[in-house]
Structure 1
Amino acid sequence: MLNLRQLHYFWMVGKTGSIVRASEQLNLTPQTISGQIGLLEETIGTALFRKTGRQLELTDAGRQALPYAEQIFQLSGELESLFRAQPGQAQVLLRVGVADVVPKSIVYRLLAPTMALSEAVRITCKEDKLERLLADLAIQRLDLVISDSPMPPNLDIKGYSHKLGECGISFFATRELAERHGSNFPAGLHTAPLLVPGADTMVRQRLNRWFAEQKIQPRIIGEFDDSALMKAFGQSGNGIFIAPSVIAAEVCRQFGVELIGQTDAVNEAFYAISVERKVDHPGILAITEGARRDLFT
């Protein structure tokens, strides 16, 4: 069995990048930490660090081990907090993965109902590509993944997709672009500078079909997996951009842009993916019920 103290020293050195910095944080001598890591390497039969000049860098084995150590000591901290909590004050942990294509405003409004629960809920959010989030879900590093698409059928991962709702999309632009291209929607989008979601997103595929049906060919000047970055470019007047219609008023207010058109022919759907068909986590229930009751009515 691994010595957790030795593993903790390895984690601190890997995280800080230096035995000296780790020794300062742990209030130990560098020799103690170096010796304990050496014992750990003897136990597992492989080197975790290599010297490059005066610096230490992780070996391949060290790079693979560091995320596991990170998770072990993160969970250890959460367990310690649980033990220290006063009776009646224990928090319910909700670990949420968010696909990077989901707008942050949608994520906030989906998670907001958990803050109104009678039970104290502590949320941790991780944003990443859907496939990596689902891998974490499969090994129970996450309780829930929020995505713009259901569970991909080609992945060998057990999971269930709970549809939260769907809505049409709206087009936004600065006042200057709106005056130039917004008077005759959607025909005014023809040759207009457009900022769009990445090619792998569901809404991009639907958007392309709709443009073809409308015989519209905008001038695409940017593709973004991160919806917040797309809005930032749109706010600066670089192009027209889209967002779900349920947050249209919020987008106009937050980014100082104008709504130039909306269509229900192109919709965005949002899903909560869990490892359970029937969820009983109070936080997940609050998210699914709140979405269907208040957001996607």
Structure 2
Amino acid sequence: MTPLNFKHLHYFWVVAHEGSITRAAERLGVAVQTISGQLSLLERQLGKALFNSQGRGLVLSEAGRAALGYADRIFELGDALVDAVHNSGNDNTLRLRAGISDGIPKLLAYGLLSKVTAMSDDVRLICNEGEFENLLAELALHRLDVVLTDRPAPVGGNLKVFSTPLGEFATGLFACAELADRHRADFPHGLGGAPLLLPTRHHALRNHIERWLERLGIRPNIVGEFEDSALMTTFGRGGLGLFPAPLALAEQIASQLDAVPIGAMDGVSEQIYALSNERRIRHPAVELLCAGGNAGETPAVWGV
């Protein structure tokens, strides 16, 4: 198969964003005939029409929309390449761009990433928080080096992503002192009607907790559902309800959130994965983070 001509692809990309060959020619400073000829060559190579005529203008065909998605990613990576090369050698800082799924406890993310911040190299940690699907898309576009999340990457499709288990953390229920005194005595059977804060159904932990409650025949009063684990623990600290968290973080939760564990939820655990791009030469900080992954239950987070 003939290699793709990126000059032809660039002309297509500009036409698609400008909406017309004339405007694209003005932007690129070339003749309209030049762009038309390059588009024809690209369409001939791909074997599909990339545009359909609509009145006096052009609209993308189905094949054109698919091609534009890839072209966007290609030229975004090109811009990133230029920036990376331009800035290389300016300092010796190793940058790790980490995405953190909003459902992961932030204290847990800090404990896991402390391996990276403790590296002998000069490391700059750049963290983004967001929903799983958005972070996965950013990883696919190489805008992130690693994503910490509560589930592995989906199997199949065009994504080439590694999923490395970092640990499995036993989970319990925590609460402010007043609620803890009220519900600790007959735990877990005394939780019927107790105010409970839960992650939304987008998070894997939610399903584990619901199965645990169903197995015990307990029906608490769910007073709040949260996408962001930090927001959930903030409301828990304020006394709105009991909230789940890794038992390994009990000391930190007590000191920072003034909340104490009520009891363990037997069989309920939070799994953390590191998602990274499939590359032959991988980021040294990602390698360190994933080293020793799939080690099973991690009794303590700090110093991981």
What TM-score results when the alignment is normalised by the length of structure 1? 0.70
Distance 1:226 1:84 in 2: 37
- Residues 136-173 of structure 1, C-alpha deviations (whole Å, 9 max, x = no match): 11121111111001112365422111000102111111
Task: Give the gaps of 5 or more residues in structure 1.
Answer: 2-38, 46-63
| CA drift at 1:40 | 9.5
Aligned position for 2:242: 240
Counterpart CA distance in 1 for 2:86 and 2:110 is 28
2:89 equivalent among 83, 86, 92: 83
Please give the alpha-carbon distance, in whole angstroms, between the structure 1 residues aligned to 2:243 and 2:281. 36
2:90 maps to a residue whose letter is R
Equivalent runs, 1:124-203 vs 2, <5 Å = 124-153=126-155, 156-203=158-205
5+ long unaligned stretches in structure 2: 1-6, 8-22, 30-68, 300-304
Distance 1:294 1:249, change over 3 A: farther
Residue 269 (structure 1) shift: 0.2
| Higher mean displacement: 152-161 or 171-180 | 152-161
Aligned to 2:18: none
Deviation, 1:128, is 1.1
> Per-residue displacement from partner, 1:102-122 (whole Å, max 9, x unpaired)?
111111111111122122222
Q: Distance in 2 between matches of 1:188 and 1:148?
A: 29
Match of 2:208 among 206, 213, 224: 206
Moved more, 67-76 or 153-162: 67-76
Instruction: Tell me which of 23, 27, 34 is aligned to 1:43.
Output: 27
Q: Quick check: 2:166–2:295 contact (8 Å CA) kept in 1? A: no
- Contact 2:165–2:293, Cα closer than 8 Å, also in 1: no
> Which residue, 118, 121, 130 being the options, matches 1:116?
118
Name 2:256's counterpart in structure 1.
254
Equivalent AA in structure 2 for residue 82 of structure 1:
S
Specify the code of the residue in structure 1 equivalent to 2:150: D
- Whole-angstrom CA distance in 2 between matches of 1:195 and 1:291: 30
Deviations 1:170-205 (A, max 9, x none): 111111111211211111211100000111111100
Q: How far apart in 2 are the matches of 1:154 and 1:101?
A: 24
Q: Give the paired residue count.
A: 238
CA deviation after TM superposition for structure 1 residue 69, in Å? 10
The answer to whether the Cα contact below 8 Å between 1:110 and 1:291 also exists between their aligned partners in 2 is no
Percent same amino acid among aligned pairs?
38
Following superposition, the deviation at residue 248 of structure 1 comes to 1.7
- Judge conservation of contact 1:134–1:157 (CA < 8 Å) in 2: no
Q: Residue 84 of structure 1 aligns to which amino acid in structure 2?
A: N
In the alignment, residue 144 of structure 2 is paired with which amino acid?
L
Rounded to whole Å, the distance in 1 between the matches of 2:142 and 2:153 is 16
The structure-2 alpha-carbon separation of the partners of 1:162 and 1:97, relative to structure 1 and needing over 3 Å to count, comes to same
* Distance verdict in 2 for CA 1:226–1:154, change over 3 Å: farther
The 2-side partners of 1:176 and 1:155 are apart by 50
Per the alignment, do residues 105 and 291 of structure 1 end up closer, same or farther by CA in structure 2, a change over 3 Å counting? farther
Q: Which has the larger radius of gyration?
A: 2
